[in-house]
Amino acid sequence: MSYQVISNCIGWLLKEKETEEAFNFYYLEPPSKMLAKIFQTYNKTNSRKFPLQFLMLTSSSSFKRLNSLLLGALGDRGQRKSNLSVMAEGNVDDTNTTNDDDDDDDQPFTPWAVSVASGHTLLRSPQHNKGLAFTDKERDSHFLRGLLPPAVLTQELQAKRSLNILRQYQVPLHRYIAMMDLQETNEKLFYKLLIDNVEELLPVVYTPVVGEACQKYGSIFRRPQGLYISLKDKGKILEVLKNWPEKNIQVIVVTDGERILGLGDLGCQGMGIPVGKLSLYTALGGVRPSVCLPVTIDVGTKNETLLNDEFYTGLKQKRATGEEYDELLDEFMSAVKKNYGEKVLIQFEDFANHNAFDLLIKYRTSHLVFNDDIQGTACVVLGGLLSALKLIGGTLSDHTFLFLGAGEAGTGIAELISLEILKKTKLTVEDSRKKIWLVDSKGLVVSSRKDSLQQFKQPWAHDHEPVTGLLEAVKAIKPTILIGTSGVGKQFTKEVIEAMSSINAKPLIMALSNPTSQSECTAEEAYTWSNGHAIFASGSPFDPVIYDGKEFVPGQANNAYIFPGFGLGLIMCGAIRVHDEFLLAAAEALASQVTEEDYAKGIIYPRFKNIRKISATIAAKVASRAYEYGLASHLPRPSDLVKFAESCMYSPKYRNYR
């Protein structure tokens, strides 16, 4: 009886209140009043009243069941430890015949007094732990006295201390591990540190260091940070999704690990990518961490090194393909929609070319999907191109583009450039595409090769004599803009850069492949070989270069400019589908954030220190376009979308506990 009563109260609370507010009943109230608060709240708005005496009539096993119920809805990632201890203080009450274990009225029950021992667990909740920032009052209220050293530090001092510790590590991977440890112990401090020092720490938590982290993920694995779905889970994916403690998921970043950055098939170890991307969703875009879900779909790997590695954490079998692969992905997409609804954003990350295009085409009309490698990269590159026009002159349609790399990134960028040209001119689709040329592993993509080309390359096969190498293609096509998406380092040789410089007064060189080791050329090489005339941007960060007594600051075409703000915009307007116009809006918004001071230094991307302002601007533009196209479900439309975006952003500031 008593179990059912309290269960009803808790169930009502979780149904009527936001999860975070419900959790506040649990942690922010003095522990001894937690259940009383639940009863009082329930009784205020329900006709059927329950006396608070039920608190003393709950048996040990029933209370454990209730605790499991409460934490099942409110629990945090990976946190399933009991937060309540039940202390026996009396003998059997022979006057009561209710036993909550089996609801048999003929069985006696034992009365228990309830004591909440929250301190130890509170310190192990990343979402609520404040470490030495707990005040003396909070330490008394939440049983923390003695569990911490006596000093009380501010969050600012904690962040300063953490940054000093990070800077002592000489190996970048060690910094990455330290940041992940901080994220798993004190979430708000992790995000404060990242937000306040984004230019310094972005390369640590994401590219280029995340590439090495994925390669060594089996060795540095601490505890799971996301959801792993494998072939073993076929037919049970919906159940697997329900095992994740957070129920209100708004963004999922998913990978199958087949093409991690430029490093190839890393299988299950690709989890570092979704985890890193979602950290940036929160730090840069202000999306609450509790609504983010990293997912790795493990269908095996073709990486023999991993298959023979005793520490490999994934399935040790050859990568599944064809029907078996398609059925698992289809079950996953259906389960996500069923469990989280129509408006959950699914971001595909680092899928191999053949799957990336197929998945985007297959699900873009039925789900809210976004492929960062195709669409995100295209947005950030188009944004850089639009801002670079102020330095190189002309309009997009005045320039000729040559890509090294005809995969998902290269063709995605090419398509978005074509759409922007189409939007701003009276050219046909075919004519706008003729300004863009691609070079793949077999040479220039031309019409005579059309029968042997993959479908996504065919729109870019133009009439021209076959050309085998990049240097020959540069000399033949005479491009004004050279873009590298090959995933292979050192392809922009001295001869290639010199050829570009002989054709253009200010050649635009974009070496976009990640990580740094796979970049087509370095910033120093681009500036030196062009005699300081090149405008350069890369996918991975490079330090400023001094050439001929002048400082050149390379731009970084980092997808982190786009996807956090893009995702925030979709969430805040309740978008149900992604339209190509949203991508153009995001690119244009990014270009608008570059200042005259940036241009004076040859920089075509804004400074990352202003990334939250940039993200809010992008979110507002994306949401505005969604409202214009009737694809937004959150009505009415806010009058000031930029301010609304800023108001939606997650704050890493500590909360005060009662």
Q: Spell out the residues 6+ positions from residue 647 whose beta carbon is closer than 8 angstroms to its own.
A: none
Q: Are residues 381 and 258 in the same domain?
A: no
**For 225-274, what is each residue's pLDDT tens digit?**
899 999 999 999 999 999 999 999 999 999 999 998 878 999 999 999 99
Domain end position, chosen among 337, 371, 405: 371
**CA quadruple 10, 12, 15, 18: dihedral sign:** negative
Q: Are residues 534 and 435 in the same domain?
A: yes
Q: Are residues 394 and 542 in the same domain?
A: yes
Q: Say how far apart CA 239 and CA 251 lie, in whole Å.
A: 19
Domain count, the chain: 4
Domain end position, chosen among 146, 167, 202: 202
Domain membership of residue 326 (yes or no) is yes
How high is the pLDDT of residue 601? 85
Q: Is the pLDDT of residue 620 over 70?
A: yes
Domain membership of residue 633 (yes or no) is yes
Q: Are residues 536 and 642 in the same domain?
A: no
How high is the pLDDT of residue 84? 32
CATH number at residue 599: 3.40.50.10380
Domain membership of residue 583 (yes or no) is yes
CATH number at residue 459: 3.40.50.720
Domain membership of residue 22 (yes or no) is no
Q: Are residues 403 and 543 in the same domain?
A: yes
CA–centroid distance for 74 within its chain: 22
Q: Are residues 363 and 416 in the same domain?
A: no
Q: How many Cβ atoms sit within 10 Å of the Cβ of residue 145? A: 14
**For 76-135, what is each residue's pLDDT tens digit?**
333 333 333 332 233 333 333 333 333 444 444 222 233 344 688 889 889 889 999 999
Q: Say how far apart CA 277 and CA 112 lie, in whole Å.
A: 47
Q: Say how far apart CA 556 and CA 565 lie, in whole Å.
A: 17
Q: Are residues 394 and 522 in the same domain?
A: yes
Residue count (the chain): 658
Which band of pLDDT confidence, cut at 50, 70 and 90, is reported for residue 578? very high
Instruction: Choose the catalytic residue: 206, 325, 340, 650.
Output: 206
How high is the pLDDT of residue 97? 32
Domain membership of residue 279 (yes or no) is yes
Q: Are residues 453 and 579 in the same domain?
A: no
Q: Are residues 546 and 575 in the same domain?
A: no
Known binding-site residues equal: 259, 349-350, 373, 514, 558
Q: Is the pLDDT of residue 27 over 50?
A: no
Q: How many Cβ atoms sit within 10 Å of the Cβ of residue 321? A: 15
Known binding-site residues for a divalent metal cation equal: 349-350, 373
Task: Tell how strand 535-538 and strand 508-511 pair up.
Answer: parallel
Q: Are residues 547 and 578 in the same domain?
A: no
Kindly state the average pLDDT of the residues 308-334.
95
Instruction: Choose the catalytic residue: 192, 277, 343, 621.
Output: 277
Q: Is the pLDDT of residue 66 over 60?
A: no
Domain end position, chosen among 343, 371, 399: 371
Amino acid at 372: D
CATH number at residue 179: 1.20.1370.30
Q: Say how far apart CA 7 and CA 39 lie, in whole Å.
A: 11
Give the structural domain span for 328. Answer: 206-371
Q: Is the pLDDT of residue 68 over 80?
A: no
Q: Are residues 271 and 359 in the same domain?
A: yes
Domain membership of residue 55 (yes or no) is no
Buried b (16+ CB within 10 A) or exposed e, 547-570: eeeeebbbbbbbbbbbbbbbbbbb
- Active-site residue, 206 included: yes
Q: Are residues 125 and 166 in the same domain?
A: yes
- CA distance readout (Å), 579 to 193, 456, 622: 34, 19, 10
How high is the pLDDT of residue 8? 58
Is residue 174 within a helix (H) or strand (E), and if so which, with residue range?
Answer: helix 172-185
Q: Say how far apart CA 177 and CA 187 lie, in whole Å.
A: 15
Q: Is the pLDDT of residue 647 over 50?
A: yes
Kindly state the average pLDDT of the residues 640-655.
96
Domain membership of residue 153 (yes or no) is yes
pLDDT > 90: percent of the chain = 72
**For 388-436, what is each residue's pLDDT tens digit?**
999 999 999 999 999 999 988 899 999 999 999 999 998 999 999 999 9
- Active-site residue, 654 included: no
Domain membership of residue 59 (yes or no) is no
Q: Which among 303, 240, 244, 298 is positioned nearest to 271, based on CA atoms?
A: 298
